Amino acid sequence: MKILFLYPNHEGYFRVPIGITLIMTVCKNAGHDVELFDTTFIASEDNVDTLVREKAKLTKPIPMDAMFNKHTQGEIIDLWLKKIEDFKPDLIAASILEDAYKFADAILGAAKNKFDIPIVAGGVTPTMSPLVCIENPNIDMIILNEGEVAFLELCKAVEKKISYEDVPNLVWTKDGKVKKNKLTKYMDMDKLPNQRLEFWNEKHFMKPYDGKMLMSGNFEMSRGCMHKCHYCFNRYMQIGFDKEQVGAYRRNKSVDTIIREVLEHDKKLNFEIILFSDDNFLGRSFSEMEEFYERWEKEVKIPYWINTCIETLNEENVPKLKKSKCIGIGIGMETGSEWVRRNILLKGKMTNEMYVEGFRLMAKNKIRSTCNVMIGFPGEYEEDVFDTIKVNKTIRSIDKELTSCAMSFVAPYAGTVMHNISVELGLIEVNDKPGFRGLCKDISMLKPNIYNPNMSWKRMIELRDNFTDYINGDLPIPEKYLKSDPDRKYAIGDPIYEMYTAYKQGPKSINPKSLTPERDKMIKNGNLDILKVPSLTNKKINIRDYHNY
């Protein structure tokens, strides 16, 4: 069968995406004819993320605009329609993240208008919000969650023209009713095939790093995370599906498998750096990591970069990471306010002290590090932001060559508690078009998305823009923020925190027919305090006008 995949990447953020690559791989391995329409290098004139990082003085500038050949949306659609005409697929399959959903919709809509080919969507956004996406007239079906097994079953059903009833993980409509089929188990990571990389433009393998472009490989050694952060899609992946599978989400690939996979590709591609996409690389047993350090050092010898949680680093493993050629580590701290981290983000009990120690340890072992933080959580105050700035200033001062810190805006992605709370409290402009109902309009990590009564839109941008200067000591921290208030007297009585309590158990997938279930429940029970949240009382500040405020 012929399957045309769509990777609707609209901001030029290149790197081989493992998810859709694995889906294409299983299809090709099963004998299907697979082609890809990838917009990465034609929908943007540069890599927006790198430009932002360069502007924030986080990376050494490397001009990359020559890699891009920006087309208008109309031109992209013409190319897409031509591709469909030439290839004549039996099925169109798109991988969608929320930032690119609107763009994906425009491309899929053009196909829907002109051809009669079934369209299926997978990836994080359809997985988090199936009831929203299935209302989209340009999407016929959704594969929830991991697609390696389910998608092949769907191909079988489409090819043989048999009922979709037995296709696992499928969300579809029958007789006007939305149906959710049974789910398959989370994948055994050692049973996954090695990625087939032939679909991708070679530019996807380039990684701007320390002022150079390196040949990079993108691999995964684990899936999932054991933490419960309120802003992260991982929490939904733990609890949003099969109750029996809650503890099964966090899984590892064996060291043997990952080494074999990397070496297999390295023979042809000569990697200069391996990027591990795992969210919490060191969140596995000590003995397995020992095996990894030893074997990587002897058999692979390629420098690598990981993301991990701060509490996984210690005096014993950091030198081993270094010895096995780990050259960089990304850490999500998210906020420097311990109260916000513990109570709003549910990020665990990590103290600022633990973060500073962790960064010190990495610098001592000459490993580069990045501390990622955000601004704009509902219930965050300017005082909290300066707590973030102060702890990052300490981290920066450890070693300016080896540490870096990056601040982005909180993006309330559907499927996270941040999104639930933002919708319930009227803190975001919510889309009301079928297929989009309940999603945040124009979501992006590059601008404020969430109305915050404690900080104006302009002030948030100013704080983000000045973040690097504050932490480098080029801008003084205002006198009134020099001392932190661990009791957060400035926030006492803020009714917003009630909504966090209502979502303590985790996020709920958005139902476009009932967007504010918890608020409705509170009002029904006579708990009217929630209505005192300024976004619900102050009609003068319309969310739509927040950017002028």
* Minimum separation from the CB atom of position 278 to ligand B12 (A): 7
Quick one: CA dihedral 523, 526, 531, 537, positive or negative? positive
Which member of 43, 97, 371, 425 binds ligand B12 (CB under 6 A)?
Answer: 97
* Minimum separation from the CB atom of position 289 to ligand SF4 (A): 18
User: Among candidates 385, 366, 365, which has minimal Cα distance to 374?
Assistant: 385
The two structure tokens encoding residue 336? 């420097």
CB of 101 or CB of 381, closer to ligand B12:
101
309 interface partner picked from ligand B12, ligand SF4, none, CB below 5 to 8 A per type = ligand SF4
463: contact with ligand B12 by CB under 6 A:
no
| Ramachandran angles phi, psi of 492, nearest 5° | -60, 135
Beta bridge partner(s), residue 34: 3
22: contact with ligand B12 by CB under 6 A:
yes
240: contact with ligand B12 by CB under 6 A:
no
- Residue 368 gets the label, from left (phi > 0), alpha (psi -120 to 50) or beta, of beta
User: Among candidates 46, 47, 106, 99, which has minimal Cα distance to 73?
Assistant: 106
CB of 229 or CB of 530, closer to ligand SF4:
229
334: contact with ligand B12 by CB under 6 A:
no
87: contact with ligand B12 by CB under 6 A:
no
Which member of 26, 50, 91, 123 binds ligand B12 (CB under 6 A)?
Answer: 123
| Ramachandran angles phi, psi of 538, nearest 5° | -85, 90
> Which residues lie near ligand SF4 (CB under 6 A)?
225, 227, 229, 232, 234, 279-280, 309, 332, 347
Which member of 36, 51, 77, 93 binds ligand B12 (CB under 6 A)?
Answer: 93
* Minimum separation from the CB atom of position 225 to ligand SF4 (A): 3
Distance separating alpha carbons of residues 252 and 189, to the nearest angstrom? 6
* Minimum separation from the CB atom of position 412 to ligand SF4 (A): 14
The three-class DSSP label of residue 227 is coil
CB of 374 or CB of 502, closer to ligand SF4:
374
| Residues of span 429-458 touching ligand B12 by CB under 6 A | 445
- Write down the H helix ranges in 333-490: 338-339, 352-364, 382-398, 417-424, 457-472
* Minimum separation from the CB atom of position 227 to ligand B12 (A): 12
217: contact with ligand B12 by CB under 6 A:
no
The two structure tokens encoding residue 481? 């923020």
Distance separating alpha carbons of residues 259 and 219, to the nearest angstrom? 10
* Minimum separation from the CB atom of position 224 to ligand SF4 (A): 8
DSSP 128-178: H-HHHHTT-TT--EEE-S--HHHHHHHHHHHHHT--STT-TTEEEEETTEE
Q: Which residues here bind ligand B12, judged by CB under 6 A?
A: 9, 11, 13, 15, 17-20, 22-23, 49, 93, 95, 97-100, 120, 122-125, 127-128, 143, 146-148, 151, 220, 232-233, 277, 279, 413, 445
